[in-house]
């Protein structure tokens, strides 16, 4: 199961055990059992970010996926299915009607 993490100072679903940085979690699936098992993996990964830097800067500033995913985070299953609407989804220029009209 995939989880998207986004730093948050307001509403927090989990906090790093090292620096206390809070994160919102966006789940790919709604099964509470799967979420419970994945939460431990998320906490372990947050600790691994601190291999060199013990500050909050050790965590990525932009949203990131666990397990890691090579594509843009806004197109991950966790973002799309988890309801993260604050990441702007942008169509490629060739699919953008406004862009194609302006280019002509």
Residue 3 has pLDDT above 70, yes or no: yes
In what helix (H) or strand (E) does residue 39 lie, and over which residues does it extend? Answer: helix 32-48
Q: Structural domain boundaries of the chain? A: 3-103
Closest CA to 7 of 21, 17, 20, 19: 21
pLDDT in tens, 36-94: 988 999 999 999 999 999 999 999 988 888 876 566 666 566 666 666 655 555 555 56
Closest CA to 7 of 52, 64, 92, 54: 64
Q: 0.85 cut: is pTM over it?
A: no
- At 43 the pLDDT is 95
Q: Is the pLDDT of residue 99 over 50?
A: no
């Amino acid at each position: 199961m995939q989880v998207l993490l986004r730093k948050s100072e307001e509403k927090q679903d989990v906090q790093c055990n090292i620096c206390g940085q809070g994160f919102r979690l966006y789940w790919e699936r709604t099964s509470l059992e799967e979420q419970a098992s994945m939460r431990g993996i998320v906490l372990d990964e947050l600790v691994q970010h601190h291999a060199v830097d013990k500050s909050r800067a050790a965590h990525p500033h932009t949203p990131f996926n666990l397990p890691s995913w090579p594509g843009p985070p806004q197109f991950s299953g966790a973002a799309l299915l988890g309801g993260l609407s604050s990441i702007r989804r942008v169509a490629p220029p060739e699919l953008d009607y406004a862009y194609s009209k302006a280019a002509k």
